[in-house]
């Protein structure tokens, strides 16, 4: 794309380059930058009146807005993927401007309706509504590999955030009760809780004999141990550096 900026590139080719750049940033989790690339591609495709390519690009723009808004609302770290509910951010994905504007009306249809319904379900954090949308708009949402992949990630984030919100008040809770509150099968909830414990999303254990989840409070970090590890790490660097210099001196003497 950098090389393309230095020379003239046909709008159709430039739109493809911008779209691929958006896909790469989307895969890296940088949804804000990905949206800007998709927007540039969409504007060029709109000028070319290429509806077939413009509609998927508009869907990608809406997808980026939904994912970026949800990540900020849940406080999800791009590095760790750990979710923590934030109350200082709007949950609703801001895609109203895309669907009510002149271009949104121009490309209105089931594809736009599908993404609007996903945004509404994500803003409510409703897994039941989310799954209903996936069923109703299966063709529009599942046929595109990029959207299918990221909607699967979105579903996992919604499930984890809902589970964390349910178990937060408890130190010990029956897994069956959690499954009834989230309206999902017991084996699915049990498997997901086990995965979240292994991934460090929260501290706890599953007592399968009693069918209970025991949640531990997060322990305070041992500052002395952390500083001790840093000292050892720095000493290791010093010894490695001294060994390298001694090797260099030996080679010079020989």
Task: Say what the pLDDT of residue 121 is.
Answer: 87
Intra-chain end-to-end CA distance of the chain, in Å: 53
DSSP-derived secondary structure letter, 218? P
pTM: 0.69
Specify whether the CB–CB gap between 136 and 117 falls below 8 A: yes
For the CA atoms of 15, 21, 24, 26, what is the dihedral angle to 10 degrees? -80
Question: For 92-101, which contacts have Cβ atoms below 8 Å and span 24 or more sequence positions?
Answer: 92/119, 92/123, 93/65, 93/66, 93/68, 93/69, 93/119, 93/122, 93/123, 94/65, 94/69, 95/62, 95/65, 95/66, 95/119, 98/58, 98/61, 98/62, 98/65, 99/62
Task: Say what the pLDDT of residue 238 is.
Answer: 92
How many angstroms separate the CA atoms of 59 and 26, rounded?
Answer: 13
Task: Say what the pLDDT of residue 226 is.
Answer: 80
How many angstroms separate the CA atoms of 241 and 137, rounded?
Answer: 61
Q: Is the pLDDT of residue 91 over 80?
A: no
Q: Across the chain, what does the average pLDDT equal? A: 82
In the chain, DSSP finds a helix count (H) and a strand count (E) of: 13, 3
Which string of DSSP letters, residue by residue, matches 145-199? HHHHHHHHHHHHHHHHHHHHHHHTT-SEEEHHHHHHHHT--HHHHHHHHHHHHHT
State the average pLDDT over residues 50-61: 89
Segment holding 206, helix H or strand E = strand 204-207
pLDDT digits (tens, 9 = 90+) for 105-159: 788 888 888 888 898 888 888 888 888 999 999 888 888 889 999 998 888 888 8
Specify whether the CB–CB gap between 65 and 35 falls below 8 A: yes
Task: Say what the pLDDT of residue 60 is.
Answer: 92
State the average pLDDT over residues 160-180: 89
Q: Percent of the chain having pLDDT more than 90? A: 12
State the average pLDDT over residues 62-87: 64
């Amino acid at each position: 794309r950098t090389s393309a900026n230095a020379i003239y590139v046909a709008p159709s080719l430039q739109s493809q380059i911008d779209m691929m750049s958006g896909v790469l940033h989307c895969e890296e989790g940088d949804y804000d930058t990905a949206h800007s690339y998709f927007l540039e591609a969409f504007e060029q495709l709109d000028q070319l009146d290429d509806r077939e390519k413009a509609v998927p690009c508009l869907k990608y723009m809406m997808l980026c807005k939904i994912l970026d808004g949800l990540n900020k609302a849940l406080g999800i770290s791009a590095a760790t993927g750990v979710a923590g509910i934030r109350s200082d951010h709007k949950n609703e994905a801001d895609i109203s401007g895309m669907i009510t504007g002149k271009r949104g009306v121009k490309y209105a249809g089931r594809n736009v309706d599908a993404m609007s319904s996903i945004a509404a379900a994500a803003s409510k954090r409703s897994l039941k509504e989310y799954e209903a949308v996936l069923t109703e708009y299966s063709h529009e949402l599942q046929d595109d590999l990029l959207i299918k992949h990221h909607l699967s990630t979105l579903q996992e984030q919604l499930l984890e955030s809902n589970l964390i919100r349910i178990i937060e008040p408890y130190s010990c809770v029956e897994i069956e009760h959690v499954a009834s509150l989230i309206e999902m099968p017991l084996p699915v909830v049990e498997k997901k809780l086990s995965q979240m414990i292994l991934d460090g999303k929260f501290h706890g254990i599953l007592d399968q004999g009693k069918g209970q989840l025991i949640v531990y409070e997060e322990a305070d970090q041992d500052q002395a141990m952390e500083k001790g590890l840093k000292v050892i790490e720095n000493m290791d660097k010093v010894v490695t550096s001294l060994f390298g210099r001694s090797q260099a001196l030996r080679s010079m003497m020989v």
